[in-house]
Structure 1
């Protein structure tokens, strides 16, 4: 009976240690998400151009649309994660805008 509890304890430890991770790391997802919400004016959101643009962004980072969707699903499971991610996306976009202004 003692072995059963040891095995159960070990299983619980292993289960809690195996936190689900999204296919795209947070750092890269922030950049991808920022690019998708900062669509250039030349790309129409209502056209196939946006779909092409999305595929180009995913390809530039080495991910597929499925990877992106699975990562969105990961964040959808916990609204607090989205909130933190949005803050980081805003900070990233601001830093990109600030650095492009200083280049002018």
Structure 2
């Protein structure tokens, strides 16, 4: 496996968050399309299969809403992680500059006597 699979650039989380946000409504829509696509089979299903399909059909909107809400929460979490990562990166760079400015590099030089 390549080590690059897990490498994260500075825009990785923001890109992921945007993609998740864009796809949030898609998953719920797919559940609704599944129910609509199965509709022609409704008259051919009998017994417990029919009851299960009716139960699913009655819950499609709720299932879609739950999936959409779950993905929206994931996108919000990704955005929070992105903000924290960017803040941490900025803080680390500032701390490094401050420490470098306070360092006595001349003290490490070997003087000829």
Tell me which structure has the larger Cα radius of gyration.
2
TM-score, normalised relative to structure 1:
0.33
TM-score with structure 2 setting the length: 0.30
